[in-house]
Amino acid sequence: MATNILPPRLRLDGKDILKPNGKKIILKGFSFGAWGLDDLGDIDEVKNLKATCLRYPLRVWGDYKSEDIDARDDRARSFLKKPNRERWLASIRAAGEKGIWTVAGIDSNCGANGLGSDEIVALCDPYGEWGDAGHNFITDRSMMKWFAIIWQNMAEELRTYPNVGMLEILPEPLPLRPADPWKEDLKRFYRYLMDAIREVDQDTPFLVGARGYGAKICDDAWLRERNDVVYTGNLLNDWCNDLASFDEGLGYLTRFRDLVRAPMFSQQVGLLSSSDPDQSKLKYILGRLAEERVGYTYWQWKTRSAEPDEYGLLFREHPHTAPDDWTRKEAEIACFREAWA
């Protein structure tokens, strides 16, 4: 007999994230951020490392150096290219079926900012109508509605998938912008998208952060009236190069969590391999996150770079001549195996 029962979701209780059975969980895992390179076999590998979550961003409307990465297609269902949409959904479903909680995000370097290089500005604002404000989801209400339609369609689909942990509405919005007026503009954007998503999904928690996901300003993203939001702040390379800086950044996140009693999850923790040749910093960072009970996804699993000194735990020395030949950074991977044992 057919059933309409939806898969259970994580619940939020003050500053804690709870599994459906009511037990606390600290989510920790990796970002699958190299679109098109991470595959279903990688899910098995990270599960064997005892990762409890995966972050998987879909990319739309941006300068991604390769046409196959940008999923935008205004003629297609949900305004998304079918291969990109199906790959994203299939990976999230596969991870969930293996018991891994996923962070499903939709990223856009036009929608999040629209400024930066001349190439990005020309792509996002080809007629030069938006000036220093940038053409993005926050400045252009019509594009905000367009993005809400994408999210409504994807959220309705994802609500039937197991173990979707959080919906990351828009990674790193409005970077390098001042608080006034952008803080309140960003909050209005979040509220608009959340209301649209809640029409089709009443349960899955949201993941949001302040402008650029700045750790120092994480409190700027706080939505006082909501109890369905997990907050985030990046602890990427600049924070991790110096361990005193890392403790400072982690302190911003934990003080905010404890003050407003809302969960905190860092969706990008990571450092360049060249910054940590003996893995001493990585071991310290993973230990401190565990001590402070802050969940995270590490940036990142696979990388497009052919250089061993960059981000990423797997890289290809010869991506054009040997695209399937991945080199694993075994010493770094071993740090996660030990930390998550």
Q: Encoding tokens for residue 280?
A: 């001493």
Neighbouring C-beta atoms of residue 27, cutoff 10 Å: 24
CA distance 256 to 15: 10
Closest by alpha carbon to 232, among 246, 218, 245, 220? 218
pLDDT at 3: 56
Asked if the 22-339 domain carries CATH number 3.20.20.80, the reply is yes
Q: Which residues of the chain have pLDDT under 70?
A: 1-4
Q: What is the pTM of this model?
A: 0.97
Each residue's pLDDT tens digit, 200-224: 999 999 999 999 999 999 999 999 9
Q: Single out the residue of 87, 262, 243, 302 nearest to residue 166, CA to CA.
A: 262
SS3 readout for the chain: CCCCCCCCCCEEECCEEECCCCCECCCEEEECCCCCCCCHHHHHHHHHCCCCEEEEEEECCCCCCCCCCCCECCCCHHHECHHHHHHHHHHHHHHHHCCCEEEEEEECCCCCCCCCCHHHHHHHCCCCCCHHHCCCCCCCHHHHHHHHHHHHHHHHHHCCCCCEEEEECCCCCCCCCCHHHHHHHHHHHHHHHHHHHHCCCCCCCEEEECHHHCHHHHHHHCCCCCCCEEEECCECHHHHHCHHHHHHHHHHHHHHHHHHCCCEEEEEECCCHHHCCCCHHHHHHHHHHHHHCCEEEECCCECCCCCCCCCCCEECCCCCCCCCCCEECHHHHHHHHHHCC
Measure the CA–CA gap between 321 and 306, rounded to whole angstroms.
12
Contacts of residue 10, Cβ cutoff 8 Å, sequence gap at least 6 = 17, 18, 19, 20, 25, 101, 165, 166, 204, 205
Q: Cβ(113)–Cβ(125) under 8 Å?
A: no
pLDDT for residue 67: 87
Cβ of 91: how many Cβ atoms within 10 Å? 21
Q: 202, 208, 160: which is closest to 11 by C-alpha?
A: 202
Structure tokens at 68: 């196959």
| Residue in the structure block whose two tokens are 């999923």 | 71
Instruction: Please give the pLDDT value at position 1.
Output: 41
